[in-house]
Amino acid sequence: MIYPFNAWDAFKIAVNMEENGLKFYKAAAKKFSGPIADLFNSLAQEEEIHKSIFTRFLNGLPKEQTTLYDPDNETDDYLKMMADIHVFKNDPENIDKLMEGVATVEDALKLAMSFEKDSIVFFVQLKNASDNLSDEVSVDRLILEEAKHLRKLSRIFNNQKSK
């Protein structure tokens, strides 16, 4: 199968993921109080910054698609599966359902780290699917931004565990 791909697609997905991450962190901030609520509000602001960065990247990219040959539909199947299982949905009820399973700060941080890791894997796969160096460089920028967020969450999680 010929599968169309470009960095514009990847950044469009990233903007959506950041919007929904913002909703998640705002919901987490409401669930907790004091410094922990401040932490999640700070993470929500960081998601807003990432959304702006990704939107700027998106606006600078052409919408043309590159194509690759994928005879076993592996790339297509993988990308559909990843989007279905981990990407925050635009549905506010989905965020509410996720928050029902969050009893502690550590639960919220684990969930956030899980989504960040899955996001990085998703974007690495998108990058690997490209046969266009410009697309690959653009997606690399996205991956680096997500990795920064994951490192921050990991540091915060480890600090919480040691308390």
| CATH of residue 30 | 1.20.1260.10
Structure tokens at 144: 């680096």
Residue 38: give the domain boundaries: 2-161
Q: What is the pLDDT of residues 54-111, one digit of tens each?
A: 888 778 777 665 555 556 666 656 555 655 555 455 455 677 788 888 999 999 999 8
Q: CA-CA distance, 113 to 156, in Å (whole number)? A: 11
User: Does the predicted TM-score (pTM) go above 0.75?
Assistant: no
In sequence order, what DSSP letters do the residues of 51-63 get, joined into one string?
HHHHHHHHHTS--
Q: CA-CA distance, 63 to 5, in Å (whole number)? A: 10
- How many domains does one find in the chain? 1
